[in-house]
């Protein structure tokens, strides 16, 4: 039997169990757009209060729904931002570490996985601040292409015009953050900063090249006056000597100040970039930015720069984060929420638990995790929870994970997986599904036994067509909801549950000829596939085969 024939008979527009990656799952998009509210039992603990961003640490198997939870958090925050314009939340997706690791490799000149040994908490802070600052500036300045106004950062339409009304301290904070962290995808950051400075009205800058022109003009004047003195050596005018001295002084002063400013800016840019290897700012860009911006803008600013060996704990990133949060609160934001996901996917990590540990462990710092109006949702592979249990008591005292809303394992019950699979069926239900495609109603089971599961779970939204169907409708009368729940319970997580259901449908269609098609799946087929899939899941957890 053709699988498409089976799906069409049940009124399904596509196979609801095809996708294995939440980011590329069209059925999940339908569920979210339809307002479906079927969530993991721990979801509310992970989410917390949207108007008070908080930290959560979640460990889960591959396919346990971590990325789906991240997407659900993003969707809920987008809805919250629409309904609460004075308590919005800026979402930062910190889920692609490949660019950060590549920049660290180039800056530190370290090849391969050795760069993971050099990762610091400050590098994570720089990467997060860069993502947040760039999103904010994309929304503020607009632009074209990848740098067009970010719809996930809603701002009043006149925000850019009203920037000049901000307190001068906040305008300087914004210019400093743009100088350090703005990373537009296509625009030149130097040009974008210049446009922003005009909006912020931070005053006119005396560019170092001004002093070079003073030196050049002073030198020309000195040469002209010297030539005149030589031509009029017998009777030179009285004012010629003081004018020559003044021109020579202008030459020396201009050359001295220009040299001093160039060396100062070069040294400051080098010191900052050496301390910030995780950003993509180049030395040439930063020199232009520092030279074009009035120096008083950076007065009392916590610029990250290399410190001596006897320097104490660094606090500059925390100060910069607080200043960014303060700016956002003035724009109607309650704070920043950072979503950390896909830690196991970077090329240099490739799922190795020890390499993942080197990336994540620096972030387990209570001061970092508990910043005001700043929350992190760390969605981490379950392998790291095993390594975490081996750490010393001092590590736990510093991380204080007991205060971080920790979920030790993202586990799913068979009942929840059953509801999830039924919801996916309803999401792809065709609007023209015939009544004959429906399974027998409750109470028509074999031997008078009650056929359970035909009723939609309470609170579950129908798909875009409102078609009513549940998982039991795909099976013969001798398969009830309890048996399906038991089978799904052995799968333990959504991805394996979807693989199981996909194989059940596949096996049924493989065994059934088209001429004598049976549209309900037999219990024998269910039991056969369940044995194979449960063995696969057990071997997966023992590490004997890939996911």
pLDDT in tens, 343-387: 999 999 988 999 999 999 999 999 999 999 999 999 999 899 889
Counting Cα atoms < 13 Å in the Cβ hemisphere of 180 gives 34
Q: Where are the domains of the chain?
A: 3-13+413-541, 41-159+316-407, 208-292
pLDDT-derived band at 459 (thresholds 50, 70, 90) equals very low
The top-scoring range by mean pLDDT among 131-135, 156-160, 185-189, 198-202 is: 131-135
- Tokens (6 digits) for 69: 């939870």
CB–CB of 180/281 below 8 Å? yes
Q: Which of 314, 330, 262 is nearest to 88 (CA)?
A: 330
**Full 3-state SS string of 46-68:** HHCCCCCCCCEEEEECCCCCHHH
The structure tokens listed for 218 are: 């002073």
Question: Rounded to the nearest 5 degrees, what angle is found at the Cα of 61, between the Cα atoms of 56 and 62?
Answer: 110
- Is the model's pLDDT at 388 over the cut of 70? yes
pLDDT at 442: 39
Q: Roughly what angle, to the nearest 10 degrees, separates helices 240-275 and 283-292? A: 130
Q: pLDDT confidence of 445, banded at 50, 70, 90?
A: very low
Q: Are 12 and 425 in contact (CB under 8 A)?
A: yes
The answer to whether 111 and 105 are in contact (CB under 8 A) is: yes
Return the percentage of the chain with pLDDT > 90, whole number: 36
Residue 416 or residue 543, greater confidence: 416
Flag whether pLDDT at 105 surpasses 80: yes
pTM for this predicted structure:
0.81
Q: Is 394 a residue whose pLDDT tops 90?
A: no
Residue of 150 and 40 predicted with greater confidence: 40
**CA 509, CA 501: separation in Å to the nearest integer?**
12
Q: Which residue in the block uniquely carries the two structure tokens 């001092």?
A: 394
To which residue do tokens 């549940």 refer? 470
Question: How does pLDDT run across 45-79, given as a tens digit for each residue?
Answer: 999 998 899 999 999 888 888 888 898 899 899 98
Mean pLDDT check: name the lowest of 94-108, 157-171, 187-201.
157-171
Site of tokens 């540990």: 357
Using alpha carbons, list the distances in angstroms from residue 282 to 128, 268, 278, 378: 18, 13, 11, 30
Q: Please compute the mean of the pLDDT values over residues 212-226 and round it to a whole number.
A: 75
Angle subtended by helix axes 414-427 and 481-491, to nearest 10: 100
Q: How does pLDDT run across 302-342, given as a tens digit for each residue?
A: 999 876 544 445 789 999 999 999 999 988 899 999 999 99
Q: Are 404 and 55 in contact (CB under 8 A)?
A: yes
428, 8 in Cβ contact below 8 A?
A: no
The DSSP 8-state label assigned to residue 12 in this structure reads: B
Place of tokens 């889960």: 60
CATH hierarchy code of domain 41-159+316-407: 3.40.50
Neighbours of 514 (CB within 10 A): 9
Helix axes 283-292, 189-200, angle to 10 degrees: 20
Query: Could you tell me how many residues make up the chain?
Result: 547
Strands in 353-431 per DSSP E: 374-381, 406-407
- What 8-state DSSP symbol labels residue 544? S
Q: Where are the beta strands (DSSP E) in 400-463?
A: 406-407
Average of per-residue pLDDT across 7-22: 86
- Which residue, among 320, 362, 318, has the nearest Cα to 340 in the 3D structure? 362
Averaged pLDDT, 198-216: 75
Q: What is the mean pLDDT of residues 414-442?
A: 70
Nearest to 456 by CA among 435, 431, 481: 481
CA angle 336, 341, 343 (to 5 degrees): 130
Residue 437 is predicted with a pLDDT of 41
Residue 136 has pLDDT above 50, yes or no: yes
- Kindly tell me the sign of the dihedral angle through the C-alpha atoms of 275, 277, 282, 285: negative
Q: Average pLDDT in the 391-399 region? A: 86
Q: Which of 229-233, 359-363, 450-454 has the lowest mean pLDDT?
A: 450-454
**Tokens representing residue 7 in the block:** 């799906």
Assess whether pLDDT exceeds 90 at residue 293: no
Average pLDDT over all residues of the chain: 82
Tens digit of each residue's pLDDT (9 = 90 or more) over 154-181? 776 677 777 778 888 999 999 999 999 9
pLDDT at 542: 64
């Amino acid at each position: 039997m053709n699988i498409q024939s089976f799906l069409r008979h049940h009124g399904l527009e596509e196979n609801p169990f095809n996708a294995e990656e939440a980011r590329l799952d069209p059925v999940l998009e339908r569920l979210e757009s339809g307002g479906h509210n079927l969530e993991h039992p721990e979801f509310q603990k992970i989410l917390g209060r949207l108007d008070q961003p908080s930290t959560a640490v979640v460990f889960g198997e591959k396919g346990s729904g971590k990325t789906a939870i991240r997407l659900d958090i993003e969707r809920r925050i987008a809805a919250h931002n629409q309904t609460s314009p004075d308590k919005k939340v800026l979402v930062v997706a910190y889920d692609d570490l490949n660019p950060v690791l590549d920049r660290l490799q180039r800056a530190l000149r370290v090849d391969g996985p050795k760069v993971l040994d050099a990762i610091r908490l400050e590098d994570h802070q720089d990467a997060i601040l860069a993502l947040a600052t760039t999103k904010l500036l994309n929304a503020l300045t607009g632009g074209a292409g990848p740098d067009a106004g970010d719809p996930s950062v809603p701002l009043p339409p006149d925000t850019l015009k009203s920037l000049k009304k901000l307190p001068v301290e906040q305008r300087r904070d914004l210019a400093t953050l743009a100088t350090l962290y703005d990373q537009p995808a296509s625009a030149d950051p130097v040009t974008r900063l210049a446009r922003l400075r005009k909006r912020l009205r931070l005053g006119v800058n005396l560019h170092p090249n001004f002093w070079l022109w003073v030196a050049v003009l002073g030198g020309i004047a000195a040469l002209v006056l010297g030539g005149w003195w030589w031509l009029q050596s017998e009777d030179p005018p009285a004012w010629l000597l003081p004018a020559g001295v003044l021109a020579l002084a202008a030459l020396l002063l201009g050359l001295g100040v220009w040299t001093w400013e160039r060396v100062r800016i070069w040294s400051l840019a080098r010191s900052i970039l050496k301390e910030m290897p995780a950003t993509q700012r180049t030395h040439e860009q930063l020199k232009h930015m520092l030279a074009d911006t009035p120096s008083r803008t950076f007065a009392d600013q916590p610029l990250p720069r290399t410190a001596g060996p006897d320097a104490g704990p660094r606090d500059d990133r925390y100060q910069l984060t607080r200043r960014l949060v303060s700016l956002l609160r003035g724009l109607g934001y309650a704070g920043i929420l950072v979503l950390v996901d896909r830690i196991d996917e970077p090329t240099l990590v490739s799922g190795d638990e020890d390499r993942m540990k080197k990336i994540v462990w620096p972030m387990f710092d209570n001061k970092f995790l508990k910043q005001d109006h700043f929350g992190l949702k760390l969605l981490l592979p379950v392998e790291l929870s095993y390594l975490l249990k081996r750490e010393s008591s001092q590590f736990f005292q510093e991380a204080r994970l007991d205060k971080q809303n920790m979920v030790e394992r993202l586990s799913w019950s068979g009942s929840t997986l059953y509801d999830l699979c039924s919801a996916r069926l309803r999401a792809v239900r065709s609007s023209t599904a015939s009544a004959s495609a429906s399974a027998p109603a409750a109470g028509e089971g074999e031997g008078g036994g009650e056929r359970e599961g035909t009723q939609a779970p309470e609170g579950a939204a129908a798909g875009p067509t409102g078609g009513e169907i549940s998982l039991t409708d795909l099976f013969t009368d001798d398969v009830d909801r309890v048996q399906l729940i038991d089978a799904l319970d052995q799968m333990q997580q959504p991805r394996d549950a979807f693989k199981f259901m996909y194989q059940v449908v596949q096996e049924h269609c493989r065994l059934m000829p088209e001429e004598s098609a049976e549209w309900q799946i037999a219990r024998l087929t269910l039991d056969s596939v369940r044995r194979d899939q449960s063995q696969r899941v057990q071997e997966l957890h023992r590490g004997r085969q890939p996911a």
